[in-house]
Amino acid sequence: MTPNPSANVWLRCPQPRPQARLRLFCFPYAGGGAAAYRTWPNHLPGDVEVCAIQLPGRDERLGETPYSDLVTLLEALAEGLAPRLEAPYAVFGHSLGALLAYELVRHQRRRGGNLPVHLFVSARRAPHVPSREPPCHLLPEQAFIQALVRRYNGIPQAILAEPAVMRLFLPVLRADFSVMETYRFVAEDPLDQAITAFGGLDDQVVSRADLETWRMTTRGECAIHMIPGGHFFLQTAPTALLDVIARQLVDGIDSGAATQR
């Protein structure tokens, strides 16, 4: 994915659409980068611009130290994205990304900023629900890798088979899991935004019951959609996921246009 010269260091837009009526900000899962969303513009309306979040420590930001706590990461992220959050937008986050997306929306509300037309959360329980899994980010190397493989089965075999590559990958994974495992939920009023929550039918970590907990986080509508696949269904069944997102974004664009009239 070629960086967009008009974007800041946090954003990668695989198909820049400066005249778009709506931006979709996509937050990565643990260890993931903006490249996970490189094909999404092909499946979404032409007046939606996909803006993928690029966190430090990966791809062209490989030389930067990844954040290991949510508060510090959120402050830096919100400051970096602020100029792009003034126009209509929606947010999507998968796993860790769902937590980041949700907390960014709450941060925007606290500071009186522009709020999204829709929040899409994927493969994660609501943030107020404690994890059932023991923390793993401080485990020794092999135990840490084994815990991730057992829970998520999301590390490609090509990386697992190359210890040198895996060692490059581990600091980002440890930092991202530290963000999740040291997170402490602070109660606030529910959001007003509609939420769509996605889960994998074969996900062994996040169940439909876990997704239902998102209903407690909003006064708006909350829809649940189950997608074929495991925890990383956004990779194995992207069409099923993006079909729902596209329909919701069309509604968001239409409602935004109605508000401006």
For residue 176, CA distances in Å to 28, 53, 56, 181, 242 come to 10, 14, 10, 9, 25
3-state secondary structure of 170: helix
User: Which residue type sits at 198?
Assistant: F
CA dist 249 and 255 (Å) reads: 10
Catalytic residue among 6, 95, 122, 255: 95
| Residue 257: CA count within 13 A, CB half-sphere | 10
255 carries an active-site annotation? no
**CA–CA–CA angle 166, 169, 171 (5° rounding):** 120
| Residue 192: CA count within 13 A, CB half-sphere | 6
62: Cβ–Cβ under 8 A, 6 or more apart, which residues?
none
3-state secondary structure of 222: strand
User: Which residue type sits at 258?
Assistant: A
Question: How large is the angle between the packed helices 96-110 and 70-81, nearest 10 degrees?
Answer: 60
221: Cβ–Cβ under 8 A, 6 or more apart, which residues?
194, 195
CA dist 31 and 10 (Å) reads: 15
Any idea which residues carry the catalytic annotation?
95
